[in-house]
Each structure stands twice: as C-alpha cells, then as structure tokens.
Amino acid sequence: MSALQSGGRRRLDSSAQPEYDLPTREPRIGSPIAARIVMGIVLIAWVAGTVGAGTAIVSVHTPTWIERPSAALLMVVFAAGLTHRGGGYMRIWLPMTIVLGVLAVTLETNVLLAAAAAVTAVLGAVWAVLVTRPASSAIGAVGEYVLSLAVALSGTLGVAAWNAPVNYQRFNLTVLAISLGLVITLVWNLGAGLHGLGRQNFAILAGIAAIVLLVLVYSSFVRSHGSQSLVREISHWVIWTRTHFRGVPRPVEVFIGFPALIVGVSLRSRRREGWWILVFAVVGTAVLTTSLVTPGAFPTYIGLSTLYSSILGLIVGLVFRQQVMKERSARAARAVEEVVRVEPPRFAALK
C-alpha cells in the first residue's frame, strides 16, 4: 500500500487503480448488448415522455390527451432509473409506480392526480442528483450540473402535465420533505452513515444544514409575521426584478441547492462524504420540479427565474468548490498522495 521514497518520506502507492469501496450487485442483464438495448429504450422513453409532457406548457398542435400519459411515462422512467441506481428491487417499486400511473390516467380523480404529481416530483428530484458522477475538474462539475438540471427540468414538465389540483405551498413542502427523507436514506447506505465524516466534514454539513433551516424558517416567518415595511420592500424588489428581467432568482436554489450540487460532485471525486453535500442539492432540484405544479404559473416567468437561479447558483457553487477542493498544506501533500475515488458507471447500480 505504501512505498518508501527518497529521504524516508512515506507516500501512498498510486500506481494501482483504486477500487470502488462499496459492494455492488451482479448485473441482472448478463449480455452487454442486451444491457445497451435496455438503456437505449429507457433513454428513448425519457425523451418521449419529456417531449410529450412539454406540450402542457408549449402551445403546439397536439391532442391534449397525450399530456398525462407522457407524465406517467416520465414517472415510470424516474422510478426505474432511481431504483436501479440505488440498488433497489425493481420488481417491487416499478409495478407500484406503473399501477399509480395507469390509475391516475384512467380515473383522473383529484387524489390520484395529486399523488402522481408528487411521486413524479420526488423521483425526478432525487434521480437528478443520483444520476451524477464524481467530477475532479471544474469543467466536469459543470457538465454534471447541467445534466442534473436537465433531469430535474424534465420532472418539472411531468408535474405540469399532470395538472393536479393542489395547494402549491403544501405540495412544495411535502415534496421537499419526502425528497430529503428519501435521499438521506439512500446516502446513508452509500456514505456509511455519519461516523466516517470526520470533524471538518461534519462541521461543513452542520453549517449547511443550519443555513438551510435559517433560510426556510426566516422566509416563512417574513411572509406570515414580518413587518409591513419589510414585506413591502421585498415585494417591491420582486416586482422590479420581474418587470425588468421577467424573472426572479430563487434564493434557496442560488445559495443552497445548486451550489451543493457543484460542491458535492466535486468532493465525491476524493471522498464519499461528498454524498452528504448532495443531500442539500435535493433542496434545489425539489424546488425546481414543483415550480410548475400550479396551473396558473407562467412558464416564461418560471423558465427565466430558473435560468437566473442556475447561472447565479453555478457561480456561487464554483466559488465554494474552489475553497472546498483547495489543496492541503505542502507538508501534508508531500506526506500523502491524493487518491482519486472511483464509482460505477453512470447507469450502473451504486450499491
């Protein structure tokens, strides 16, 4: 494992390729050709579902009946991708999702439509994070960032296509809570719990969690109990921004969700504790997937707000990444050589 260098300095032997540090299941499809065919079908289904669901917000000459079946197709794709990626049992979760989609499309009751929209939002938000790969460079992190937002945006279209009669604030909080609970459960298995974090990483996570709680509690407090002058100033700023830029960045995405996505995929290239940073990235993807659940929401306004949030969140994330990924002291770097952490391919099970 280590070699004695000149001058007596001990260094890690990096000549051997590091291995993934979690056991994975054997592939259920033994033939590589069959596996590629299955992945191609899933990719085509994802594109078809996204395009079909997009007709709910884009005025095109297509029948309206394709919107909800497309949303159901997206929900099934999200369930299949997340179950496979998390190492779950496909024969349990996939049939349940298919049954929910079929019942929601055929019966169209309010309860089923709301449940289907919530499941689509949760699965899309969590899969958008788990589909990413470790990125050791800033360019690679930006690529993973774009891919994750693309998956989350397809979930946004799926939720909009359900056109479910829900209360936006209650729906948003429910999706956010379930998404966080689900991703914490998955990351607990992938990150070996909290005991392997170390004091520095635990302090980082605690700080981020405190910021998330502060932002959510403060925003809720200001809306309900804030002074009239403060609420008036915030409303004036929102109206001014919306009038001049036709969109308003969302602070939760700019300062929490999207930067956590950049920092998380970067930190995963060195330590598996990066998964815990990605827990907070679900805050951003969940807010994104629920942004068009209200039928009265303006797609142009939501689209521009998301664009501004993604650009600002990318900038903030790259600044944080520079600090988190900064090389250790020269003495420590000479003593131990960094080992690049590896993970299974993007469409392989993580566990």
Residue type for position 169:
Q
Burial 281-297 (b: 16+ CB within 10 A, else e): bbbbbbbbbbbbbbeee
Mean pLDDT for the chain overall: 82
Distance CA 239, CA 246 (A): 9
User: Angle between the 274-289 and 168-190 helix axes, to the nearest 10 degrees?
Assistant: 160
Q: Which residue has the higher pLDDT, 31 or 103?
A: 103
Of all residues in the chain, the percent with pLDDT exceeding 90 is: 43
Mean pLDDT within 258-276: 88
What pLDDT is recorded for position 315? 96
335 pLDDT higher than 50: no
Q: For residue range 174-199, what is the model confidence (pLDDT) as tens digits? A: 999 899 889 988 888 776 555 556 66
> What values do phi and psi take at 279, rounded to 5?
-55, -40
Mean pLDDT within 296-304: 88
Q: For residue range 110-133, what is the model confidence (pLDDT) as tens digits? A: 999 999 999 999 999 999 999 999
Distance CA 132, CA 41 (A): 20
The DSSP secondary structure of 67-118, one letter per residue, reads: HHHHHHHHHHHHHHHHHHHTT--HHHHHHHHHHHHHHHHHH--HHHHHHHHH
Which residues, in sequence order, are bridge partners of residue 12? 2
> Chain centroid to CA 3: how far?
40
Identify the band that residue 4 occupies on the pLDDT scale cut at 50, 70 and 90.
very low
Q: In 3-state terms, what secondary structure has residue 64? A: helix
Contact 53, 101 (CB under 8 A): no
Find all residues with CB under 8 Å of 174, minimum gap 6, and list them. Answer: 118
216 pLDDT higher than 70: no
Q: For residue range 232-246, what is the model confidence (pLDDT) as tens digits? A: 666 667 677 777 778
Q: For residue range 49-77, what is the model confidence (pLDDT) as tens digits? A: 999 999 999 888 888 899 999 999 999 99
Residue type for position 147:
L
Q: What pTM was computed for the model? A: 0.84
